[in-house]
């Protein structure tokens, strides 16, 4: 209690930590007082119903709090998502699209197959030859595969090059550091584990081959100027300078995830921009790795509309009741991926914790890309992007600013 009122940021942190006791991994990162986490761990085991009621109680408290509007908007979005998660954990029926809306403040729908067909036509021109487009695209991807023995070295080289650019453009504490490790048997391609004190551990999943044209995006997404950079900037500003306790915990399936993933997917554009393909080719050439950077950049741009197919798959599975085989076939047809990669994507889409999360990549990228493009004509991309790194913006706020 603060002056007779509930300390909503503190209670929000405690509530988020309680969710992690019901679903390990729900707390993506916690950098706050260890005594708070220890106290929550010593509490009686929580139930979904109790967490639901606590979320609702904190939402009511927000109506009378004297916190500034940006903090209230952030906390309201986070608590709305937690209330929905608790209802799902309690077994209450929640439609998939309603679930996504509560988590991420966006509405989802199936993509336009005509748009996918146009992307296929663009790829046909870039990848001429015999065989089907899927076969030629697969052959192109195989040519770009990074030898497993070179994967870690390539990641470090790209990380160092991106770090130099990000330190210059956005500023980072001298003590910040990222450690990389190669892992297997995970439903994702990469994951940032932020430990606080400006330190991250980034795991790279080697279950499926990594391509030299994809590695720059992966490193930018997880580290510079993506997740690691965002965590560092927010810890330095919102937490240490402004003492906003709510930013000591990062929770899965909340609006801040859509913001974080959209920001991270725009990382290479923000750090390098046009010409990232030749830039990456030059970095990798020092390791004896060959990449046709110009072609890679053009292929990535042509294939970009196909990113939405992954969200189609989630809607088909969880909203329309489609079978796993039908969804895998949809992924293979429109995303032009192999059966093994489609199965890997299904693993992510059917994971209890991650089933709705694909929306953060699809809608997050589109929302923030549109917002960046709508910046004033005299504002550099870096200045606009810095707001994403530093401010507690919500998807609703970004959509509002984009429409203005």
Question: For the chain, what are the domain ranges?
Answer: 8-94, 113-403
Q: What is the mean pLDDT of residues 270-285?
A: 97
For the stretch 74-89, pLDDT in tens is 999 999 999 999 999 9
Edge-to-edge, what's the strand order for the sheet holding 190-196? 177-183, 199-205, 190-196
For residue 45, is pLDDT > 50? yes
Main-chain phi, psi angles of 2, to 5 degrees: -125, 115
For the stretch 146-161, pLDDT in tens is 999 999 999 999 999 9
Q: What is the mean pLDDT of residues 105-118?
A: 97
Q: Quickly state the pLDDT bin for 361 (edges 50, 70, 90).
A: very high
Q: How far apart, in whole angstroms, are the C-alpha atoms of residue 226 and residue 33?
A: 25
pTM, entire model = 0.95
Q: For residue 185, what pLDDT is reported?
A: 82
Q: For residue 205, what pLDDT is reported?
A: 87
Q: Which is it for strands 249-251 and 199-205: parallel, antiparallel or unpaired? A: unpaired
Q: Quickly state the pLDDT bin for 1 (edges 50, 70, 90).
A: very low
For residue 120, is pLDDT > 50? yes
CA distances from 353 to 53, 56, 231 (A): 21, 21, 22
Q: How far apart, in whole angstroms, are the C-alpha atoms of residue 77 and residue 223?
A: 25
Count the residues in the chain: 404
Q: Quickly state the pLDDT bin for 3 (edges 50, 70, 90).
A: very low
- Choose among 275, 339, 298: nearest CA to 127: 298
Q: Quickly state the pLDDT bin for 344 (edges 50, 70, 90).
A: confident
For the stretch 5-20, pLDDT in tens is 799 999 999 999 999 9
The pLDDT mean for the chain works out to 95
C-alpha torsion sign, points 385, 68, 198, 192: negative
Cis? peptide before 225, omega within 30° of 0: yes
Q: For residue 359, what pLDDT is reported?
A: 97
For residue 250, is pLDDT > 90? yes
């Amino acid at each position: 209690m603060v002056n007779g009122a509930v300390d909503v940021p503190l209670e929000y942190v405690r509530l988020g930590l309680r969710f992690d006791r019901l679903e390990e991994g729900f707390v993506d990162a916690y950098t706050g007082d260890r005594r708070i986490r220890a106290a929550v761990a010593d509490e009686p085991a929580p139930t979904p119903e109790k967490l639901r009621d606590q979320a609702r109680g904190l939402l009511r408290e927000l109506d009378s709090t004297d916190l500034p509007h940006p903090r209230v908007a952030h906390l309201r979005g986070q608590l709305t998502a937690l209330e929905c998660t608790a209802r799902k954990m309690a077994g209450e029926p929640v439609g998939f699209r309603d679930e996504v809306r509560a988590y991420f403040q966006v509405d989802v729908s199936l993509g336009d197959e005509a748009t996918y067909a146009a992307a296929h036509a663009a790829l046909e021109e870039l990848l001429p030859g015999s065989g089907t487009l899927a076969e030629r695209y697969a052959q192109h991807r195989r040519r770009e595969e990074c030898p497993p023995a070179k994967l870690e070295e390539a990641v470090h080289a790209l990380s160092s090059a991106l770090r130099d650019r990000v330190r210059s453009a956005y500023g980072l504490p001298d003590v910040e550091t990222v450690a990389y490790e190669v892992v297997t048997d995970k439903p994702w391609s990469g994951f940032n584990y932020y430990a606080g004190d400006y330190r991250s551990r980034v795991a790279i999943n080697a279950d499926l081959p990594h391509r030299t044209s994809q590695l720059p995006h992966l490193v930018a997404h997880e580290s510079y100027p993506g997740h690691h950079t965002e965590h560092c900037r927010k810890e330095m500003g919102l937490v240490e300078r402004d003492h906003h306790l709510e930013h000591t915990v990062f929770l899965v399936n909340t609006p801040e995830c859509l913001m974080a993933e959209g920001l991270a997917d725009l990382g290479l554009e923000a750090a390098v921009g046009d010409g990232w393909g030749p830039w990456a080719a030059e970095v990798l050439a020092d390791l004896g790795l060959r990449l046709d950077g110009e072609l890679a950049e053009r292929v990535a741009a042509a294939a970009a509309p196909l990113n939405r197919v992954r969200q189609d798959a989630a809607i088909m599975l969880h909203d329309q009741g489609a079978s796993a085989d039908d969804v895998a076939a949809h992924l293979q047809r429109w995303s032009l991926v192999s059966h093994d990669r489609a199965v890997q994507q299904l693993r992510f889409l059917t994971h209890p914790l991650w089933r709705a999360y694909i929306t953060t990549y699809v809608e997050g990228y589109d929302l923030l890309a549109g917002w960046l493009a709508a910046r004033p004509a005299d504002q550099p991309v870096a200045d606009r992007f810095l707001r994403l790194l530093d401010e507690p913006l919500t998807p609703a706020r970004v959509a509002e600013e984009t429409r203005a």
